[in-house]
Amino acid sequence: MRWLWIDRIVELTPNERLVAIKNVTMAEEHLHDGAGALPIMPASLVVEGMAQSAGLLVGHASGFKEKVLLAKIQKASFEREAIPGTTIRYDARITRMDAQGAATEGTIELIEPQSGEVSPMGRVDLLFSHLDQNSAGAEFGESNFVFGEAFDTLLRLSGIETP
């Protein structure tokens, strides 16, 4: 994974829930690529942040032995946009888990920097596949290319032990 769209994991209940945050800053180049005067975090990157949060939750459930891939975006809806200075809070929960993969539901909130006020931003529900269980005979080797060094560093900096 080349880019991480979460900055820190702030809560982890194994097999159930993961809460992560992303601080949106003016230093992010992608905020300056769109038309218009007000830079906003692209919705596609917000979805990716939820996918990374929920994917880490699903991966953690198996001790990161499974190669967890996003299989489907079940639902993505947004009420607000994230602008520089706000913090995005991802709350991912597992709703189903089996050998083939997992289903997650996620809520996204915005935290205002001055007031600390929290407001709903959106919802993203996802399906994940355990690649080695669903590869129709294809072999991908032992190396877990999904959860690489960047995710390992994120987990350690968040105080979460890795296998």
Residue type, 68: V
Q: With contact defined as beta carbons under 8 Å apart, do 104 and 58 qualify? A: yes
Question: Does the residue 1 lie in any domain?
Answer: no
Give the helix, strand, coil percentages of the chain, each rounded to 5.
20, 35, 40
Please tell me the total count of domains within the chain: 1
**Per-residue pLDDT reduced to its tens digit, 92-133:** 999 999 999 999 999 999 999 889 999 999 999 999 999 888
Q: With contact defined as beta carbons under 8 Å apart, do 42 and 81 qualify? A: no
Identity of the highest mean pLDDT range in 33-37, 153-157, 158-162: 153-157
Question: Does the residue 48 lie in any domain?
Answer: yes
Question: Does the residue 27 lie in any domain?
Answer: yes
Domain that holds residue 110: 8-157
Question: Does the residue 3 lie in any domain?
Answer: no
Phi, psi dihedrals of residue 65, rounded to the nearest 5°: -80, -30
Question: Does the residue 45 lie in any domain?
Answer: yes
Structure tokens at 40: 């906003």
pLDDT at 132: 83
Question: Does the residue 149 lie in any domain?
Answer: yes
What contacts 34, CB < 8 A, 6 or more positions away? 40, 42
* 3-state secondary structure at position 162: coil
Residue type, 59: G
Question: Does the residue 163 lie in any domain?
Answer: no
Q: Are strands 17-23 and 8-13 parallel, antiparallel or unpaired?
A: antiparallel
Residue type, 123: R
pLDDT at 77: 98
Q: With contact defined as beta carbons under 8 Å apart, do 74 and 116 qualify? A: no
Question: Does the residue 162 lie in any domain?
Answer: no
Mean pLDDT to the nearest integer, 7-18: 97
**Per-residue pLDDT reduced to its tens digit, 47-57:** 999 999 999 99
CATH number of the domain where residue 23 is located:
3.10.129.10
**Per-residue pLDDT reduced to its tens digit, 57-99:** 999 999 998 889 999 999 999 999 999 999 999 999 999 999 9
